[in-house]
Chains A and B, each alone.
Chain A
């Protein structure tokens, strides 16, 4: 029917591009992280000392890591539960359901750069929406230079992050809930279960793969977050709003510390990998069966 050679035509170009651009560079990053290099001079092998420095001698990177965990926390504790509840309300049937679903999702498809620029304006100390509203309702003493203070600068990036992507999780949870056959709810109703019991015993267990997917998305997304922070504050002021990716970027292309920056890149990759593996392990319990 077809020669084996045809398979090559179908697959080889893709595999070639993919391997050269996606796969091999990862190994290159790991390799470079073991050296001191500025891109111009020679590469000096230094073993794991870049990683050592990262963890013990770089308080800015500690802030960055802490910030990424704050973001992850906000996502897990605020964003996901809100999304779950809203999805539940939508999936149970309301008027205008399609309208809400469509609207909630709009910020997700807008570029993080636009979102970042927009919220820069919202948080602007003099003319921003937030301070204007605070002044208008008589709370002027709460109006502050949100972006210029080291205490609030990172928070300014967390708010848009949660705001932007809550719609994505609402949609995913909603799709998962809609996939649960009506019969289960029927049976529960007949057995006299109230809505909370139904949610705990039926909805949540049958949503396990979806919940797992959202947890992975949320954690890895938080750990590798770049666009919003880069656009809004680029880690400033004074590294207070840095995340691992912006710190890495500055080290690579600002300070030309290729080895050190690569070590930070490796850190981000391993962080995401470990988070994914951990969640896979946690969810290794037999999933609720649809028998």
Chain B
């Protein structure tokens, strides 16, 4: 009886794997194509070697993009904006969600609801008023024009995820620390924060993904090419050098590399962070 059942099961498994590999190929091939043409010269791309591996690996596409095209500057800007946003939003959210979940005060519940409303808000809803606000504060076209909105928008989801996490942390440790004579700041920074580190990591990844790739604000609030993010910079680069596919491809690979590297090392956390965000939302 066993022998009769294994054959169709094996065929089913093979078919399943074939389907899965096919989908994987569909997901990966465009990216592979991108990587390959980033190393090709225009002659290759437009004529002699369209589909194959580069015969000559044109690394100068990358140096052209980085130095001639200014992409190194855009890269630096994105790193700075994203790093500051992650740290600032992380600290603010960790402190606020600690207060919401662990401290006793009247407006606790209301404040939490205030933040939950925030994750549903599309950026379109605030784009013009923010533009006007930043203009009136004279910080339009400065670094703050992006930092402040990025931090503000990273906060709601971070608070929701962190509050969920704080709920599962036992209270005894805190109480012991208070009994030992610690004040609230010491309890928070020395005792509680280290415990919620995994959640802070999840939240940081979420903030990173939202900030590194952001386009609408970056395109609207900052004009100076010296302050542009990678996302906007490459868009304008692609517009300016529109026929130089190799260099554009190099720029795109450079923009994507940090995300891929982080994903490669932290794939589990990245995946669980997205799932957490989706289900809470």
Contact = CB atoms under 8 A, between A and B. Distances in A.
Interface of A: 1-2, 4, 6-7, 9-11, 13-15, 17-26, 28-29, 32, 39, 86, 89-90, 94-96, 99-114, 117-119, 121-122, 126-127, 129, 132, 163, 166-168, 171-172, 175, 209-210, 213-214, 216-217, 220, 224, 226-227, 230-231, 245, 248-249, 252-253, 258, 261-262, 265-266, 268-269, 272-273, 276
27 contacts: A4-B105, A6-B185, A9-B95, A14-B93, A14-B159, A17-B152, A21-B126, A21-B153, A23-B117, A25-B133, A29-B125, A32-B129, A86-B23, A103-B24, A104-B24, A106-B31, A112-B215, A113-B235, A126-B46, A167-B27, A213-B279, A226-B123, A226-B215, A252-B128, A268-B122, A269-B122, A272-B120
Nearest 10 Cβ contacts at the A-B interface: A111-B213, A21-B152, A25-B129, A28-B129, A25-B126, A2-B184, A10-B99, A224-B122, A14-B96, A14-B92
Interface in B224-277: 231, 234-235, 238, 245, 248, 252, 255-256, 259-260, 263, 267, 270-272, 274-275
B23 A104 contact: yes
Contacts of A227: 215-216
Contacts of B100: 11
Contacts of B272: 175
A114 B256 contact: yes
Nearest to B104: A7
B96 A22 contact: no
A21 B50 CA distance: 48
Contacts of B259: 109-111
A14 B118 CA distance: 13
Contacts of A22: 118, 121, 126, 152-153, 156
A102 B50 contact: no
B85 to A, nearest CB: 12
Interface in B186-242: 188, 209, 212-213, 215-216, 219-220, 231, 234-235, 238
A15 B114 contact: yes
A41 B183 CA distance: 55
Contacts of A216: 281
Interface stretch (B1-9, B11-19, B54-62, B64-72): B11-19
Nearest to A105: B271
B34 A118 contact: yes
Interface in B66-112: 92-93, 95-96, 98-100, 103, 105, 111
Contacts of A110: 31, 213, 256, 259-260
Contact of B115 (A18, A106, A111, A224): A18
Contact of B128 (A127, A171, A261): A261
A230 B124 contact: no
A9 B103 CA distance: 12
Contact of B125 (A4, A13, A253, A265): A265
Nearest to B152: A21
A20 B37 CA distance: 45
Interface residues of B, number: 87
Interface in B139-186: 148-149, 151-153, 155-156, 159, 178, 183-185
A21 B130 contact: yes
Contact of B103 (A10, A119, A210): A10
B111 A109 contact: no
Contacts of A266: 125
Contacts of B16: 89, 94
Contacts of B267: 102, 105
Given A14-B93, A18-B114, A163-B26, 13 more contacts: A11-B95, A11-B99, A18-B115, A21-B153, A104-B27, A105-B263, A109-B260, A111-B256, A172-B274, A209-B279, A226-B123, A249-B127, A268-B124
Contact of B20 (A89, A171, A231, A269): A89
Given A14-B155, A18-B115, A89-B19, A113 B126 contact: no
Nearest to A26: B125
A114 B279 contact: no
Contacts of B209: 109
Contact of B213 (A15, A112, A168, A261): A112
A111 B256 CA distance: 7
Contact of A168 (B115, B123, B219, B274): B274
B114 A23 contact: yes
B129 A23 contact: no
Given A105-B271, A107-B27, A258-B128, A11 B111 contact: yes
Contacts of A249: 127, 216
Contact of A7 (B92, B99, B126): B99
Contacts of A127: 45-46, 50, 245
B149 A21 contact: yes
A213 B274 CA distance: 12
A108 B129 CA distance: 30
A252 B99 contact: no
Contacts of B30: 118-119, 122, 129, 163
B256 to A, nearest CB: 5
Contacts of B220: 253
B152 A18 contact: yes
A118 B115 CA distance: 36
